[in-house]
Amino acid sequence: MKLKAILSAMVLLVIGVLFGAMLVSGFGLVRPGLADIKLGAESSPVPIDAEVSSFGQAFIETADKVTPTIVQINVVSERGTGSHDEFFYFPFKDLPKEQRGSGSGIIISSEGYIVTNNHVVENANKVVVALYDKRRFDAIVVGTDPLTDLAVIKIDTKDLPVAYLGDSDQLKVGQWVMAIGNPLSLASTVTAGIVSAIGRGQLGLIKDSYGVENFIQTDAAINPGNSGGALVDLSGAVVGVNSAIASSGTGTYIGYGFAIPINLAKAVAKDLIAHGKVSRGYIGINIGEVDDAIAKSLGMDRPRGIIIQGILENGSASEADLRPGDVILEIDGREVDAPNQLQSYVAAQTAGTTVTLKIFRDGEELERKVTLKKKDDDSKTEPASDNSKENTERKSNVSSATFDNIGLTVKNLNDRDRTDFNVDHGVLITEVKPFGKADDQRLFAGLVIVEADRKKVDDVNGFSEIVKGKKGEALLLNVIDNKGNSRFVGLEIPE
């Protein structure tokens, strides 16, 4: 009986100890020492090899070396508050009501010269530069170039860290790049992405017919305040000047940014520093893209080059045996397949420079040398046709005609039309069928067709005969608007 009582007591004691331990630990009153705490797995699940480590180190070193060469620019400007209803948005364009704003800049000289965007310092009353080391300086605007959206400012100091300016012509789509600047007043911000495209044009960012749009597109995040900052490759070379972003209307980044190629920026900056303005040369032509229809109508094997739509009076081209309808294939040995490629190259040249053009004309490739001139603001475009005032006999039994297979209706010109368009021949487009072939080639009512298949168009009958003769082929049209602007259009005529 005594043994049974002892055993019962021992069982109760063990149960009590166990229950007490559970109770105490459940309330968190018993804690392990710091030395006993081990968190996480003992090794990384994916070992980092030397190649991956080196790749990551490239970003680190680039950011470390380039960031001190990027400055923040604070501006008091005369410009009022803008709007946010444009898809393509300059990250600084909209200034607060108190007319203050901030952007970025790249130090390009130890003597204090800094390149930035024109829209950052445009109409500025006061410009203050904040360096990476927190020093601040008042700056002067050395010069601006609205046609490229570039500007140079200067601060009075020396021995500044200078950015290395690379070669944007060597940039490739898919290449890693980093955007460095001061977005949303967040100083020294670094983002990374790839080059999404090169040679982006026709974005409508520069509101001037002579504006140069040849942007590098990147998906590295760029936001307001990044304007004028650097787009750099992984060697730390600046390849572009950040300028604009794609926006859904808020002014903030939604996926793509645009940068001005550094080769263009270097040429403009040198001119601004030397002269305070850009002494740019011009060929003196209006140009357009060669699409498949135009290429076929000209007898080209494939779409390439850019077509001369018109020649400027007294311009360089008018003295160099260039003609409307010529296709420029190369400039100084560089192939050009889009208008902005030619514009960007020429924009980097000064007046007086001679360039060599390879052109396609009447089935032959020819070479022409052109000495660039300064732009004459009073120059007028010479239409691509012969618009002499000689009286011509107009005999026509048909006053209008509709071509259902291309979706086009034309009529003979009356005296008022000839006066309004300053022409003595042609047919007026009165209707273009939506989604038809003519509509696809951006023809519309209110244009005059002055040439077809390189032949002068006198009336509807003559035009009809030319169209009939080109069935199953491409027809080259030369059209003119009521402002005297002419262009070539390729139109495929069904069988």
Quickly state the pLDDT bin for 250 (edges 50, 70, 90).
low
Considering the domain architecture, whether residues 341 and 203 belong to the same structural domain is answered as no
Higher-confidence residue: 80 or 423? 423
Residue 18, pLDDT score: 60
Q: Which residues contact 12 (CB under 8 A, 6 or more apart)?
A: none
Residue 2, pLDDT score: 63
Residue 495, pLDDT score: 81
Domain boundary among 260, 278, 296: 278
Q: Closest Cα partner for 92 from 215, 240, 205?
A: 205
CA–CA gap between residue 384 and residue 324 (Å, rounded)? 5
Quickly state the pLDDT bin for 110 (edges 50, 70, 90).
very high
Q: Which residues contact 56 (CB under 8 A, 6 or more apart)?
A: none
Domain boundary among 382, 411, 426: 382
The CATH number given to whatever domain includes residue 413 is 2.30.42.10
Quick check: 385 and 479 in contact, CB under 8 A? no
Q: Closest Cα partner for 257 from 114, 107, 120, 89?
A: 89
Structure tokens at 437: 């072939």
- Residue 440, Cβ neighbours under 10 Å: how many? 15
Assigned domain for 483 exists: yes
pLDDT at 247 over 70: no
Domain boundary among 222, 257, 278: 278
Quickly state the pLDDT bin for 410 (edges 50, 70, 90).
very high
Considering the domain architecture, whether residues 178 and 265 belong to the same structural domain is answered as yes
**SS3 at position 135:** coil
pLDDT at 3 over 70: no
Which residues constitute the domain of residue 306?
Answer: 285-382
Considering the domain architecture, whether residues 272 and 299 belong to the same structural domain is answered as no
Considering the domain architecture, whether residues 378 and 419 belong to the same structural domain is answered as no
Assigned domain for 253 exists: yes
Assigned domain for 425 exists: yes
CA–CA gap between residue 31 and residue 458 (Å, rounded)? 101
| From 129-133, 170-174, 220-224, the region with the lowest mean pLDDT | 220-224
Q: Which residues contact 132 (CB under 8 A, 6 or more apart)?
A: 67, 68, 69, 70, 71, 161, 188
Q: Mean pLDDT: which of 165-169, 223-227, 318-322 is highest?
A: 165-169
Per-residue pLDDT tens over the stretch 71-106: 999 998 765 543 333 444 555 555 445 468 889 999
Residue 28, pLDDT score: 52
Considering the domain architecture, whether residues 274 and 291 belong to the same structural domain is answered as no
Residue 204, pLDDT score: 67
Per-residue pLDDT tens over the stretch 306-316: 999 988 888 88
User: Looking at the 3D structure of the chain, how many domains does it have?
Assistant: 3
Which residue shows structure tokens 């650097």? 230
Q: Which residues are catalytic?
A: 119, 149, 227
pTM above 0.95, yes or no: no
Considering the domain architecture, whether residues 144 and 201 belong to the same structural domain is answered as yes
CA–CA gap between residue 22 and residue 161 (Å, rounded)? 65
Residue 187, pLDDT score: 79
Considering the domain architecture, whether residues 228 and 263 belong to the same structural domain is answered as yes
CA–CA gap between residue 189 and residue 90 (Å, rounded)? 18
Assigned domain for 351 exists: yes
pLDDT at 482 over 90: no
Q: Closest Cα partner for 93 from 123, 126, 136?
A: 123
Residue 379, pLDDT score: 38
Per-residue pLDDT tens over the stretch 267-299: 999 999 998 988 888 898 989 999 999 999 999
Residue 164, pLDDT score: 96
What average pLDDT score do residues 411-420 get? Answer: 89
- What percent of the residues of the chain are helix, what percent strand, and what percent coil, each to the nearest 5? 20, 35, 45
Which residue shows structure tokens 């040249």? 349
Considering the domain architecture, whether residues 292 and 273 belong to the same structural domain is answered as no
Considering the domain architecture, whether residues 223 and 367 belong to the same structural domain is answered as no
Considering the domain architecture, whether residues 460 and 331 belong to the same structural domain is answered as no
Assigned domain for 429 exists: yes
Assigned domain for 19 exists: no
Considering the domain architecture, whether residues 315 and 439 belong to the same structural domain is answered as no
Mean pLDDT for all residues in the chain: 83
Task: Tell me the percentage of the chain whose pLDDT exceeds 70.
Answer: 81
> Please, how many CA atoms are within 13 Å of residue 345, restricted to the half-sphere of its CB?
19
φ/ψ of 457, rounded to 5, equals: -100, 120
What average pLDDT score do residues 31-58 get? Answer: 78
The CATH number given to whatever domain includes residue 228 is 2.40.10.120
Assigned domain for 47 exists: no
Residue 36, pLDDT score: 79
Considering the domain architecture, whether residues 132 and 213 belong to the same structural domain is answered as yes
Q: Closest Cα partner for 118 from 7, 205, 49, 237?
A: 205
Residue 69, pLDDT score: 95
Structure tokens at 298: 């000209």
Residue 314, pLDDT score: 82
CA–CA gap between residue 360 and residue 242 (Å, rounded)? 36
Higher-confidence residue: 330 or 19? 330
Residue 43, pLDDT score: 72
Residue 29, pLDDT score: 54
| From 149-163, 365-379, 436-450, the region with the lowest mean pLDDT | 365-379
Quickly state the pLDDT bin for 180 (edges 50, 70, 90).
very high
Residue 86, pLDDT score: 40
Element spanning 137, H or E: strand 136-145
